[in-house]
Amino acid sequence: MTKCLICKTSIEPFLSLRKMPIANGFLHPDQFTGEYFYDLAIGFCSTCYMVQLINHVDREKMFHDQYAFFSSTSAHMAAHFKAFADEMKTRYLKGKADPFVAEIGSNDGIFLQHMSHGGIRHLGIEPSGNVAQVAREKGVHTISEFFDEQLAKKIRAKHGPADLFIGANVMCHIPYLHSVMAGIAHLLAEDGRLVFEDPYLGDIIEKTSYDQIYDEHAFYFSVSSMEYLVEQHGLRVVDAQPQSVHGGSMRYTIAHKGAVRVSDRVKNQKKKEKDLGLNRKETYNRFRRHVEASRERLTDLLGQLKQKGASVVGYGATSKSTTVLNYCRIGPDLLSCIYDTTPIKIGTYTPGMHIPVRDYKEFSDKYPDYAVLFAWNHKEEILKKEKQFSRQGGKFIVYISRVRVEN
């Protein structure tokens, strides 16, 4: 029996996605033998409503000096983080004498660069050494460590309380969330705010975006489960704002209990979650059936295209694609390669299924008939960039929310 990481009661597994490699474990042929695999499965806690992984991969296997995800590869995300930073400055930092901003999972400095350039005292906490170094080169103060309660104490002793504590697509990556929340409660100034965003469970269920399920994503948050967690640390969810990025995210604003009025949006969102059935086991069983149907449709479609002799590639070697490729058993026989912009991924092979990753600049050398859009969350940006592909008759295959060929 597996115990809930948040409330310690037992969790109910509802979907098993087979043996999986490390989602960002892009590799070279000499590393194929001995590649690491684990059982990817997810469960629901009917006590605190937290949806979570059943098995966890050691953090050092995922976050290290060769981490393959660089936040600034998307211009749309760069604009999102600029707007996020501007809003935070106006709302919470204006008029403060010498504010201090901390961010976990600060990656290549996509958010904190806007604090650094504004002369604001800041600290990035980013364990993946290579992306942290890129941030430092942009003038962003960064330490390469994993954040937890112990580190929070050290940071407060050195820098004083944080007026603002930020996290984007990182909180859901940390299985030891109680330590993280206890640390934040200790570090946050009395009138400080914790503001973070993560992929939203409601969107994952509604869109059948099962590809959000992989080793790095230990949790799939809702406002209801977040409330349960933070209240155990003297904190309160005071706002919840849906975001369109990463296929549908939620931005949570959290403060010390009693410090701030709770927005009506929190109550409204919790009502929506009940209506969506996020508190019921049946919802997750239905999700499993939708996932299985999606796999069948995608593999059928790719099988038919192969029979017809069509050329098919992938676009965007995302972490999410590792789940889809391995769960659906899609290999180089069905997809000849995947195009991507990330230098560290180019020339490698995808985890588990070993499809070659090529430079996106070569995509136009000889356009394929079809391209499976694994970076579906960046669809607008990619479609704009690849107008010529569509113009000369190429078609994108999208599998979220349903499998289809886009015309």
Spatial CB neighbours of 36, under 8 Å, sequence gap ≥ 6: 21, 22, 25, 57, 61
DSSP character for 224? Answer: H
The partner in contact with residue 378, picked from ligand SAH, ligand DWN, none with C-beta cut-offs of 5 to 8 angstroms by kind, is ligand DWN
Does the footprint of ligand DWN cover residue 106 (CB under 6 A)? no
Out of 341, 356, 395, 398, the only residue in the binding site for ligand DWN (CB under 6 A) is: 341
DSSP character for 27? Answer: B
The partner in contact with residue 319, picked from ligand DWN, ligand SAH, none with C-beta cut-offs of 5 to 8 angstroms by kind, is ligand DWN
Closest separation between CB of residue 319 and ligand SAH, Å?
A: 9
Chain mean position to CA 203: 13
Spatial CB neighbours of 119, under 8 Å, sequence gap ≥ 6: none
The partner in contact with residue 125, picked from ligand SAH, ligand DWN, none with C-beta cut-offs of 5 to 8 angstroms by kind, is ligand SAH
Write the CA distances from 54 to 113, 220, 367, integer angstroms.
36, 12, 41
Q: Which two tokens stand for residue 28?
A: 């070279």
Q: How many CB atoms lie within 10 A of CB 189?
A: 18
| Nearer to ligand DWN among residue 131 and residue 238 (C-beta) | 131
Does the footprint of ligand DWN cover residue 377 (CB under 6 A)? yes
Tell which positions 30-89 bind ligand DWN, by CB under 6 A.
69, 73-74
The answer to whether the CB of 17 falls within 8 A of the CB of 40 is: yes
Task: Please tell me the distance from the alpha carbon of residue 59 to that of residue 174, in angstroms, as a whole number.
Answer: 9
Task: Please tell me the distance from the alpha carbon of residue 169 to that of residue 294, in angstroms, as a whole number.
Answer: 25
Q: Which two tokens stand for residue 278?
A: 């996020």
- The footprint of ligand SAH (CB under 6 A) covers 63, 67, 69, 71, 104-105, 107, 110, 125-128, 131, 146-147, 168-170, 173-174
Closest separation between CB of residue 103 and ligand SAH, Å?
A: 8
Closest separation between CB of residue 71 and ligand DWN, Å?
A: 7
| Nearer to ligand DWN among residue 75 and residue 274 (C-beta) | 75
DSSP 49-110: --EEESS---HHHHSSTT----GGG-HHHHHHHHHHHHHHIIIIITT-SS-EEEEES-TTTT
| Nearer to ligand SAH among residue 111 and residue 370 (C-beta) | 111
Q: Is the dihedral of CA 332, 61, 64, 378 positive or negative?
A: positive
| Nearer to ligand SAH among residue 246 and residue 256 (C-beta) | 246
Task: Please tell me the distance from the alpha carbon of residue 101 to that of residue 185, in angstroms, as a whole number.
Answer: 14
Does the footprint of ligand DWN cover residue 385 (CB under 6 A)? yes
Write the CA distances from 325 to 156, 296, 330, 352, integer angstroms.
43, 13, 5, 8
329 phi and psi, to 5 degrees? Answer: 55, 50
The partner in contact with residue 113, picked from ligand SAH, ligand DWN, none with C-beta cut-offs of 5 to 8 angstroms by kind, is none
Does the footprint of ligand DWN cover residue 216 (CB under 6 A)? yes
Closest separation between CB of residue 20 and ligand SAH, Å?
A: 18
Closest separation between CB of residue 132 and ligand SAH, Å?
A: 8
The partner in contact with residue 104, picked from ligand DWN, ligand SAH, none with C-beta cut-offs of 5 to 8 angstroms by kind, is ligand SAH
The partner in contact with residue 147, picked from ligand DWN, ligand SAH, none with C-beta cut-offs of 5 to 8 angstroms by kind, is ligand SAH
The partner in contact with residue 342, picked from ligand DWN, ligand SAH, none with C-beta cut-offs of 5 to 8 angstroms by kind, is ligand DWN
Taking contact as CB under 6 A, which single stretch among the options 4-12, 95-103, 285-293, 316-324 is the one that binds ligand DWN? 316-324
**By rule CB under 6 A, what string of x and - marks binding of each residue 238-267 to ligand DWN?**
--------x---------------------
Q: Which two tokens stand for residue 212?
A: 């959000």
Q: Which two tokens stand for residue 400?
A: 């979220």
| Nearer to ligand DWN among residue 231 and residue 362 (C-beta) | 362
Chain contacts with ligand DWN (rule: CB under 6 A) = 69, 73-74, 169, 216, 246, 316-320, 340-342, 345, 360, 375, 377-378, 381-382, 385
